[in-house]
Each structure stands twice: as C-alpha cells, then as structure tokens.
C-alpha cells in the first residue's frame, strides 16, 4: 500500500459524532472500556483465587508468592507493549494488531474460566500478556491518529478515552468480583471473557464506519529481504526459549522465584537500553538529547509512583481481604469491591483537575512539579495505612475507611502524574521514536511492577507499619527532592513545560 499522509487519514475519519469528538472515539472508547473491564475484573479476583484454599475453589499458593506473581504478571502485561508497538509499526498496522490482541485476551480469560488449576493460570497469563501488549498501546495510538496535529480537541479526546478506561475498571469488580467471590472464581473469570467479547464486537461492528483509515496502514513495513531475516531470528529465539523452558522447568532449575528475579532484572535493563539507544541514535538532535536527560528523573519518579499505585491490587487488596471489617450496617462487602475505589475517584476528580490546570493557565505547576506532587500523595497514601495499626494493633480488623482514604490520596497523585506523564512523554521523546512513546510510558509501570515483585514479598501484617512507612517515606522524600531540583530539570527540557 502506498504511504498514506497524515491528512488523508484524518480526513477519512468522520470528525464529529461522539461528544463533539471524531466518531472513531466511540469505537475506541468502548473497545478499551471492555478490555479494561476484563483486565481489572480479573485482577480484582486473581490474588484471592491464587491464595485461597483448595476447598474454597482457590489454588492455595503461598501468600507472598501469590503477591509476587501478581506484580510480575502486571509488569509483563505492560512490558509486552514493546512487542505490540513493533508488530503494529512493521507488520500489521494498529487496527489489526488491536483486533488480534483482543482475541488473545478473550482466549486468556476463557482459559481461566475453566477449572484447570495452575496450568490454566499460566497459559491464561501468557495469552493475556501478549494480547494486552498487542492491544493496549495500539488502541491509544489510534486515538492520536484521528486528530490533525493542530486539532485542539486532542487533549480532551484523550481525557474522554481515559474516562472509558476507568469506567470499565470501576464496574468490573462489582460484576466479575461479586460473581467470583460469592459464587465461583471461574464464573467471575468467565464474565471477564464476555466483557472482552463485547469489546471485540463493538470494535468489529463500528470500525469501518468510524475509524476510516486510522490504524489501517503499516507505517514502516518490513522489506521482503528483511522479513526473512527477522522471521528466522524469531524462529531461532522461539526454539531456544522453548528448549530452555523444556529443560529448566521439569528439572526444577527455573522456579517461580528465579523467573520473577529474571523479570525484575529485565525491568531495569530494558528501559536503560531504550534510553541508551535513543540517546545515541544519529536521528536524535541536541535539543532532543537534552530532553531525554530531563526525562530520566521523570521516568524514575513515575516508577516510584506506579510501584505504590499498583500495590493497590496486591497489598491493599490483601489488606481489604484479611485486615478489614467487611460487615458494616448488616451488609457484607466483598473484598474485590475495593478495587473500584481507584477508578471511582479518578472519574470523580479528573474533570476537577483538568479544570484546575485550565484555570491556572500559565501559573500552573510545571510537569516536574506535578510529578513531585504525584510522589508526595502516593507516599501519603501509604503513610495513612500506618494509622490503623498504630491505633488498634494488627490483630483486630480495621474500618474500611482507611482504604478509602488511601485510594483517595493515591488518585490525587495519579491525576498529577498519569495524564501529565503521557503528554510529557509525547513531547520529550525524540521525533524518530515518536511511535514508541506509548510503549516507553507503559515501561515506567512495567519496571515499577518488576521491582514490586521483589518488594511485595516482604509484607506481613506484623511488619506493616515498617512496610508502609518505609515505602511511603521514600516516595515523599523523592517527591521533595524532585520539587527542589525541578527548575534545573525544566531547563533541560528546552522549552517544553
């Protein structure tokens, strides 16, 4: 196919039809709504399913291992975005990649819906990791494709899309979580599969009409000669991995702990390599090099932030399940429902924050300062979790209000950092790497969870004061440090605010 110009693509998308936004936003909004419904619904149950006793329908995996698996799984889900970006860029184009991703994700949830134990768990994880890598960064990239570079609606389009993400994440625990915990885990996972199925239907039924040419082209297709080399390399790598797995798994050399450790290392190595390659590329000019240097502290800050935020579905989920009084006013709360608090607060507060930045205009804090607020609030969200154990010790169940407060605080931080970070990434990444910026941003989350896989093992209710205190304290200190050096970092950004 001949190369399509940016204008041709934009012109092919009906420019109105969904809250004053391009019609395609409808398609992407609901595809991502259902995908996140399935992802966060599954995650709201998964930890409980893993550590619950066999008699209760769980897998009876040891608590600390179950937590570590949650983190490593979360990390790989976002790490695989690199593969998804590459496949869309060079082989399939974004639309088709999104579709295949959705199919794999649905298959992953179906596998988990079968009562087939640990084997099913790992097969499902593999499918969902690859599927999300194909779908998640690409669906967000198609959003960007629908707007011309001058279109002022772009940011609000992304905000609406972000609402879709969080609406899916909000309702999922009430449906997937309730069915899973009240009736049967596999029934819950089955509903996650139905969610993804609905997402695929919306996508297939409306994409022709709504998305036009957006995401239908392959921006940088592999030449025929290159194809051979690349496919041979993939095949060799695949065989090597399969042989290594066939030797190391049955002989007990590759344990879950060692695998986790390996991924934790990757979580540090991959972003480091990414930065080195971008920095040394002849396509990166002096201004862009300077901006990359400025991006490093922001990336580290984002890692610290996501490390805390993502523990919401691990440590705070376990806290909800084991340390929180769930019977209130004669009503039984399900522990999975607490996973709805983060997206609920996001939905409630996002418009407020967007309005605040508009109102402050030029007087609003710089990107770096917003990041520092993100860290301070994340830190506070852990520090408040010290209070219930200081007041009542760690033997008695505590009021759910502490978790509500903690999720509220982390969301205030999330709104200072997450949307800001995405837009900063697109502005700070060198032009030659712009297609990968989405993957780069998700890497901050992947790396955070890779490190979390080691940290979350250390939590015990007896030591929770130290656990929450140290992690929360480090985040706040980093936040204060970042706030102080912010003007210097902004200098390196060469004009980007």
**What residues line the site for ligand ASP (CB under 6 A)?**
40, 165-166, 169, 342-343, 346, 414
Alpha carbon distance 4, 95 (integer Å): 15
C-beta closer to ligand ASP: residue 169 or 383? 169
Q: Is 418 in the site for ligand GLU (CB under 6 A)?
A: yes
Alpha carbon distance 310, 449 (integer Å): 7
What is the nearest approach in angstroms of ligand ASP to the Cβ of residue 383? 20
Alpha carbon distance 336, 318 (integer Å): 9
Single out the residue of 130, 165, 409, 412 in contact with ligand GLU (rule: CB under 6 A). Answer: 165
Contact 308, 471 (CB under 8 A): yes
What is the nearest approach in angstroms of ligand ASP to the Cβ of residue 377? 13
393-to-81, 136, 365, 401, 465 alpha-carbon distances in Å: 42, 42, 40, 16, 10
C-beta closer to ligand ASP: residue 49 or 161? 161
Q: x-or-dash pattern for ligand GLU, window 30-59, by CB under 6 A?
A: ------x-----------------------
C-beta closer to ligand ASP: residue 306 or 433? 306
Contacts for 260 with CB less than 8 Å, ≥ 6 apart: 68, 69, 72, 453, 454
What is the nearest approach in angstroms of ligand GLU to the Cβ of residue 168? 9
C-beta closer to ligand GLU: residue 27 or 418? 418
Q: Which stretches within 80-184 are classed as H helix?
A: 81-87, 94-113, 117-145, 154-172, 178
C-beta closer to ligand GLU: residue 43 or 90? 43
Alpha carbon distance 232, 227 (integer Å): 8
C-beta closer to ligand ASP: residue 173 or 190? 173
Q: Is 445 in the site for ligand GLU (CB under 6 A)?
A: yes
Using the CB atoms, write b or e for 106-132: b if 16+ within 10 Å: bbbbbbbbeeeeeebbebbbebbbbbb
Q: Is 138 in the site for ligand GLU (CB under 6 A)?
A: no
User: Which three-class secondary structure state does DSSP give residue 394?
Assistant: coil
Alpha carbon distance 180, 186 (integer Å): 7
What is the nearest approach in angstroms of ligand GLU to the Cβ of residue 418? 6
Q: Which does 445 bind (CB under 5 to 8 A by kind): ligand GLU, ligand ASP, none?
A: ligand GLU
Binding site residues, ligand GLU, CB under 6 A: 36, 165, 306, 418, 442, 445
């Amino acid at each position: 196919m001949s190369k399509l110009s940016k204008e041709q693509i934009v012109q092919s998308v009906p420019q109105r039809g969904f809250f004053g936004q391009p019609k395609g936003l409808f398609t992407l909004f609901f595809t991502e709504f259902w995908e996140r419904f399935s992802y966060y619904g599954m995650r709201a149950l998964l930890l409980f399913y893993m550590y619950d006793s066999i008699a209760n329908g769980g897998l009876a995996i040891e608590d600390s291992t179950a937590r570590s698996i949650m983190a490593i799984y979360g990390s790989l889900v976002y790490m695989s975005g690199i593969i998804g970006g590459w496949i869309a860029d060079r082989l399939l184009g974004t639309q088709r990649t999104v579709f295949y991703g959705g199919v794999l994700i649905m298959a992953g949830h179906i596998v988990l819906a079968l009562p087939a134990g640990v084997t099913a768990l790992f097969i499902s994880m593999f499918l969902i990791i690859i599927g999300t890598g194909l779908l998640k960064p690409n669906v967000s990239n198609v959003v960007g494709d629908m707007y011309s570079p001058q279109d002022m609606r772009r940011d609000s389009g992304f905000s609406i899309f972000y609402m879709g993400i969080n609406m899916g994440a909000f309702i999922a625990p009430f449906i997937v979580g309730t069915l899973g915990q009240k009736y049967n885990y596999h029934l819950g996972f089955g509903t996650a599969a139905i969610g993804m199925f609905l997402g695929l239907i919306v996508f297939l039924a409306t994409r022709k009409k709504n998305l036009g040419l957006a995401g239908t082209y392959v921006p940088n297709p592999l030449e025929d000669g290159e194809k051979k080399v690349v496919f041979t390399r993939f095949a060799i790598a695949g065989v090597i991995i399969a042989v290594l797995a066939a030797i190391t798994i049955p002989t007990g050399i590759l344990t879950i702990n060692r695998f986790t450790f390996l991924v934790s290392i990757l979580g540090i190595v991959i972003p480091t390599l990414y930065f080195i390659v971008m920095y040394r590329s002849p396509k990166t000019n002096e201004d862009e090099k300077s901006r990359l240097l400025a991006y490093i502290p922001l990336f580290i800050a984002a890692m610290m932030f996501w490390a805390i935020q993502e523990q919401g579905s691990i440590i705070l989920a376990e806290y909800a399940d084991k340390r929180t009084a769930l019977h209130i006013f004669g009503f039984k709360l399900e522990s999975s429902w607490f996973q709805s608090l983060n997206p609920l607060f996001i939905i409630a507060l996002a418009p407020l924050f967007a309005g605040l930045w508009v109102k402050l205009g030029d007087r609003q804090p710089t990107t770096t300062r917003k990041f520092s607020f993100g860290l301070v609030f994340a830190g506070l969200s852990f520090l408040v979790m010290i209070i219930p154990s200081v007041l009542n010790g760690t033997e008695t169940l505590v009021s759910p209000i502490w978790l509500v407060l903690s999720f509220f605080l982390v969301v205030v931080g999330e709104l200072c950092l997450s949307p800001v970070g995405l837009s900063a990434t697109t502005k700070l990444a060198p032009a030659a790497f712009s297609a990968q910026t989405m993957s780069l941003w998700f890497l901050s989350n992947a790396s955070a969870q890779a490190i979390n896989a080691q940290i979350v093992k250390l939590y015990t209710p007896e030591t929770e004061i130290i656990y929450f205190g140290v992690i929360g304290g480090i985040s706040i200190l980093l936040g204060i440090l970042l706030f102080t050096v912010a003007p210097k970092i902004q200098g390196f950004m060469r004009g980007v605010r």
